[in-house]
Amino acid sequence: MEKVYIGLGSNLDNPAGQIEKALQALDALPETRLLKASRLYSSKPLGPQDQPDFLNAVCLLETALPPLKLLDALQAIEREQGRVKKRHWGERSIDLDILLYGRMRMDSERLTLPHKEIANRDFVLLPLAEISPGLTIPEQGQVENLVERLETTFVVPMEANTQV
C-alpha cells in the first residue's frame, strides 16, 4: 500500500457537492481507502479571470493501485462527474490530480510525480499543510516552509469539513 495525495478542484455545477462526491468515489475505489481530507478552500482562478472562483481541497489515500491505474480511475471519476474541457485553464466541474505517490518519481507523457506545480500553488499547499504539516516533498522541502514562502494568497478556508 502506498500513501497518495490527491488535489481536488471545482468551479462549476455545485463545487462543494462535486468535491464531496469525488471524495466518496475515491474511497470506493478498489484496494483504496480515504484516510484524510482537508477543509474546502475558496480560491481565485489561476488562469482566465472571467470564470467563477474555485473550491479546492486535498486528500490522503492509501492504495494498492499502481500510479497509472490510479490515474485511469481518477479520469473515470472526472468523466462520471461530467467534466468537459471548455478551454485551456478554464472552468471545470471536477479536476483530480495526483500530487504525490509515496516517494515515487516519474516523468512520463501521462504523469509526472511529484506533480510539477505543487510548490507554486497556494490552493494546493494550504490544504496540504492542513492535513500533513510535516510532509516533505522530494526536491522541494517541507510543506510548512513552502507555505511560508508564498508571496500572497487568496485562498480562504471554508467551514470545517466534517465528512472524514
Tell me if residue 83 is catalytic. Answer: yes
Q: Is 56 in the site for ligand ROI (CB under 6 A)?
A: yes
Q: Is 41 in the site for ligand ROI (CB under 6 A)?
A: no
Whether the Cβ atoms of residue 60 and residue 36 lie closer than 8 Å to each other: yes
Tell me if residue 79 is catalytic. Answer: no
Q: Is 144 in the site for ligand ROI (CB under 6 A)?
A: no
Which of positions 80-99 make contact with ligand ROI (CB under 6 A)? Answer: 89, 95
Packing angle, helices 67-80 and 15-27, rounded to 10? 140
Given the residues 92, 105, 110, 122, the one annotated as active site: 92
Q: Is 38 in the site for ligand ROI (CB under 6 A)?
A: no
Whether the Cβ atoms of residue 60 and residue 82 lie closer than 8 Å to each other: no
Instruction: Report the alpha-carbon distance of residue 102 to residue 83 in Å, rounded.
Output: 27
Distance of CA 62 to the CA centre of its chain: 15
Given the residues 13, 27, 33, 95, the one annotated as active site: 95
Active site residues: 83, 92, 95, 97
